[in-house]
Structure 1
Amino acid sequence: MSDLAIYDMDRTVTRRATYTPFLLHCAVRRAPWRLIFLPLVLLSMLAYVAKLIGRAKLKELNHQLLIGHWIHPRELKPLVDSFADKQVTANIRPGARAAIARDKAQGRRVVMATASYRLYAAAIAERLGFDDVIGTGSVIGLDERVRARIEGENCYADAKLRMIADWVEKSGLLGRHGHVRFYSDHASDAPAFEWSDEPVAVNPHARLARLAAERGWRVEDWG
Structure 2
Amino acid sequence: MAHAAMLDFCGDVLQIESPGDDMAAMRAALDAHFPDSDGLIARDEIRVPDVFVSDMDSTIIRQECIDELADYAGLRDAVSAITERAMRGELDFASALRERVALLAGLADDTIDRCLRERIQPTEGARALIDTLARNGCRTVLVTGGFHHFADPIAEQLGFDRVVANRLEVVGGRLTGRLVGAITDSLAKKQVLEEELAKKGATAIAMAAGDGANDVPMLEAATYGLAYHAKPQARAAANGWIDRGDLSAILKLLDLPNI
Pairwise TM-score range, normalised by the shorter structure: 0.5 to 0.7
Give the paired residue count. 192
User: Which residue in 2 is equivalent to 1:211?
Assistant: 237
The residue matched to 1:94 in structure 2 has which SS? coil
Normalising by the residue count of structure 1, what TM-score does the alignment of the two structures yield? Answer: 0.67
The residue matched to 2:217 in structure 1 has which SS? helix
Q: Is the 8 A contact 1:115 1:155 kept in 2?
A: yes
Within the alignment, does 1:79 sit opposite 2:105 as a pair?
no
Larger Rg: 2
Q: Is the 8 A contact 2:65 2:150 kept in 1?
A: no
Instruction: Give the AA of the match of 1:102.
Output: T
Normalising by the residue count of structure 2, what TM-score does the alignment of the two structures yield? Answer: 0.59
Within the alignment, does 1:19 sit opposite 2:19 as a pair?
no
> Structure 1 CA distance, aligned partners of 2:134 and 2:142?
13
> Structure 2 CA distance, aligned partners of 1:61 and 1:15?
23
User: Which residue in 2 is equivalent to 1:104?
Assistant: 134
> Structure 2 CA distance, aligned partners of 1:54 and 1:116?
15
Q: 1:56 aligns with which of 77, 94, 115?
A: 94
CA shift at 1:174, angstroms?
4.6
Shift of the 39–9 alpha-carbon distance from structure 1 to 2, 3 Å rule, reads: closer
Aligned-residue CA RMSD in angstroms? 3.7
Same amino acid, percent of matched pairs:
23
Any gaps of 5 or more consecutive residues in structure 2? 1-48, 248-259
Within the alignment, does 1:7 sit opposite 2:57 as a pair?
no
Instruction: Give the AA of the match of 1:179.
Output: I
Shift of the 3–39 alpha-carbon distance from structure 1 to 2, 3 Å rule, reads: closer
User: Which residue in 2 is equivalent to 1:32?
Assistant: none
Within the alignment, does 1:150 sit opposite 2:150 as a pair?
no
User: Which residue in 2 is equivalent to 1:159?
Assistant: 188
Counting helix residues as a fraction of each chain, which structure ranks higher?
A: 1
Q: Is the 8 A contact 1:6 1:181 kept in 2?
A: yes
Instruction: Give the AA of the match of 1:129.
Output: G
Any gaps of 5 or more consecutive residues in structure 1? 28-34
Shift of the 57–95 alpha-carbon distance from structure 1 to 2, 3 Å rule, reads: same
Q: 1:196 aligns with which of 211, 222, 227?
A: 222
The residue matched to 2:183 in structure 1 has which SS? coil
CA shift at 1:58, angstroms?
3.7
